[in-house]
């Protein structure tokens, strides 16, 4: 909510390394929460990165769609403008995109953001609830984790 009022700040936030004291404190807290949820040190670090990339990536793509200074227009206006744009998708060239236009218009919605966040958290949670074996990649030994 705060960044939608100041979309110009997004570039400043993601335009360089996140290694300052505030970023480190945020990451430390996130690592603690993930460890409390049952992730080991390596998985907590990977999950922390995944969450940070999702949050900042979602914000970056949301503000990239608006070509004006100042606060973002209301979500309903941005979604409606995207519906109009996606309605012009050539069906003969991009049939799947044309059919998914209404859903894609909602990519900038809170509903879409929460949908994605829930899927990520479901995956992280599932990781703590069962042993998963990753497929062998380029001769590496498959990674396994003990349950919770």
Total residue count of the chain as it appears in this document = 148
Question: Residue 71's pLDDT is what?
Answer: 81
Q: Which residue has the higher pLDDT, 135 or 98?
A: 98
How does pLDDT run across 87-109, given as a tens digit for each residue? 999 999 999 999 999 999 999 99
Nearest to 147 by CA among 131, 124, 133, 132: 131
| Position 135 pLDDT exceeds 90 | no
101 contacts 92 by C-beta, under 8 angstroms: no
Nearest to 58 by CA among 125, 7, 16: 7
Note if the pTM is more than 0.75: no
The residue-averaged pLDDT of 9-23 equals: 72
For the record, the structure tokens of 133 come out as 């074996």
How does pLDDT run across 24-38, given as a tens digit for each residue? 998 999 999 999 999
């Amino acid at each position: 909510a705060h960044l939608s009022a100041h979309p110009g700040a997004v570039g400043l936030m993601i335009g360089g390394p996140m290694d300052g004291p505030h970023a480190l404190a945020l990451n430390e807290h996130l690592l603690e929460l993930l460890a409390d949820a049952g992730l080991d040190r390596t998985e907590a670090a990977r999950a922390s990165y995944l969450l940070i990339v999702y949050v900042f990536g979602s914000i970056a793509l949301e503000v990239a769609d608006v070509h004006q200074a100042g606060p973002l227009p209301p979500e309903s206006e941005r979604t409606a403008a995207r519906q109009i744009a996606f309605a012009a998708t050539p069906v003969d060239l991009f049939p799947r995109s044309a059919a998914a236009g209404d859903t894609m218009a909602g990519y900038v919605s809170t509903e879409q953001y929460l949908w994605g966040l829930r899927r990520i958290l479901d995956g992280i949670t599932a990781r703590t609830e069962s042993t998963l074996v990753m497929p062998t990649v380029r001769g590496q030994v498959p990674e396994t984790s003990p349950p919770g």
